Structures are given as C-alpha cells and as structure tokens.
C-alpha cells in the first residue's frame, strides 16, 4: 500500500525489495508498506516500538524517534494540574503524529526524499544514532525533536482549553485582551515547534513578519 509523500522503499542490494513492518504510532496510526530505499545498501529491519506501560509517564513512539517522557514535558513547559493527565497525553500524541509526519514527508525536503529516509539510507536507524553535537551526553537532534513535540503539544493544550490556561502576563490588567494574548501564545508555540524542526533538519531559519 502506498501513502504518497510519507515513505519510500527499502531494497536489498538493489535487487529485491522487502517491505518493512508497519510503523505504528501509539494512537494506532500506521504508515504501511516499504519505508526507505537504498539501492546499494541492504535494508535493516525497521519495526514499531512495542507499547510499554501506557499508564506510566513514558509514551512509546515510532522506533526511529525517541519515547516521550510526560514528566519532562510537564517540567520544561510548566504544564500544571489545570490539564488532566489524559489531556496532556492526548496533546503529546497529536504532537508526535504531526512532528513525525513532517520528518517523514518527502515534500518537506528539496531533494524529494524525507529527512528520516535520508538518515536511514545513511545507516542511522534511530534519531539518537544520527551524528550530532552532544550536550551533557544528550544528542542535539534528540533535544530539538523533543522541543518540537513539546511546543506543539503545549500549543494544542492552549488552543483547546483556552479557559483553563494562564497567559504570559499572569494576571489581567486594565485594557488586557485575554483572547489576543492567548492567540499570541498559541502562535509563539507553533513558531517554536516549526523552528526546532527546521534546525533538526538543517534548514535555514525562516522569519515572516506581517505588515
């Protein structure tokens, strides 16, 4: 089965193609069929990460990408008890789907081959294995990926539950426009997620100003 723009084909020494196992996301979305092709390199198995304890704080991801730590998200993006754990998990799942789709999209790259497929062809079968600067033993690529997912998840939370979110000002004052402040905050998180992804893929930063 082919899904345009989201995968490519595996090949073994350029002679025989082998479909990879389904790449399942936690929420049950799967990219079916062959994943990546490299005419001169044998394919390595690319299987979905098995679901672990979904009642815990770790959300499993597609095998290439790192699992998501709920507590890390809560701490770094100051997600408080106004959002239930169920809401937070749902937001993270949606963020993972959107972020992974971007990294798996052929259309996102000028070469016409998705960023993830390029890494797999080069022999890197996980994001952590992709060559990157290390900060305290942590891969810059992994850190950028997590930041992109977290920012997207926070955007989802703010957007869906406007009435329960605080704004950047922390309190209302005379002339304060809460709707505008929240809309600005949503736009900020969206831009942050986009910028982290561009940095991860090695794309130049793009700034657009409205006149």
pLDDT in tens, 53-90: 444 589 999 999 999 999 999 999 999 888 999 999 99
* Residue 10 or residue 131, greater confidence: 131
Token pair listed for 162: 């406007």
pLDDT digits 0-9 by tens, 93-128: 999 999 999 999 988 888 899 999 999 999 999 999
Residue 138 belongs to domain spanning: 46-167+176-200
In a domain, 16, yes or no: no
Q: What is the mean pLDDT of the chain?
A: 75
Please report, for residues 52, 154, 179, 208, the alpha-carbon distance to residue 60 in angstroms, rounded to integers and kept in the order given. 7, 19, 35, 35
Instruction: Indicate the helix (H) or strand (E) that contains 31.
Output: strand 30-31
Among the ranges given (6-10, 22-26, 172-176), the one the predictor scored with the smallest mean pLDDT: 22-26
Domain for residue 27, yes or no?
Answer: no
Name the CA radius of gyration of the chain, rounded.
19
pLDDT value of position 121: 95
In a domain, 24, yes or no: no
Q: Look at the pTM and tell me if it is higher than 0.75.
A: no
Residue 11 has φ and ψ, to the nearest 5°, of -145, 150
Q: In Å, how far are 16, 23, 62, 145 from 100, measured between CA atoms? A: 27, 11, 8, 9
pLDDT (0 to 100) of residue 207? 52
**pLDDT reading at 155 higher than 50:** yes
Distance CA(195)–CA(148), nearest Å, equals: 8
Q: Is residue 12 part of a domain?
A: no
Q: Classify residue 209: in a domain, yes or no.
A: no
CB of 24 closer than 8 Å to CB of 46: no
Confidence of residue 9 (pLDDT cuts 50, 70, 90): very low
Domain total in the chain: 1
Residue 10 included in any domain: no
Residue 139 lies in a domain: yes
> Is residue 23 domain-resident?
no
| φ, ψ for residue 16, nearest 5 deg | -130, 130
């Amino acid at each position: 089965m082919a899904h345009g723009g989201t995968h490519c084909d595996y090949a073994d020494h350029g002679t025989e193609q082998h479909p990879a196992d389904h790449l399942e996301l936690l929420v049950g979305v799967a990219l079916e069929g062959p994943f990546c092709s490299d005419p001169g390199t044998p394919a390595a198995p690319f299987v979905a990460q098995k679901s672990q304890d979904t009642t815990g704080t770790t959300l499993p991801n597609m095998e290439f990408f790192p699992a998501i730590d709920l507590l890390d998200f809560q701490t770094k993006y100051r997600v408080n008890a106004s959002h239930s754990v169920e809401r937070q998990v749902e937001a993270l799942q949606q963020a993972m789907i959107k972020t992974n789709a971007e990294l798996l999209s052929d259309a996102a790259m000028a070469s016409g081959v998705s960023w993830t497929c390029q890494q797999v062809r080069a022999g890197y079968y996980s994001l952590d294995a992709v060559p990157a600067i290390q900060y305290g033993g942590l891969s810059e690529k992994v850190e950028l990926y997590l930041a992109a997912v977290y920012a997207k998840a926070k955007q989802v939370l703010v957007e869906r539950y406007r009435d329960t979110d605080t704004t950047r000002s922390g309190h209302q004052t005379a002339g304060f426009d809460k709707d505008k402040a929240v809309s600005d905050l949503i736009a900020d998180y969206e831009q942050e997620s986009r910028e982290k992804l561009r940095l991860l893929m090695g794309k130049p930063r793009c700034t657009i100003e409205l006149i």
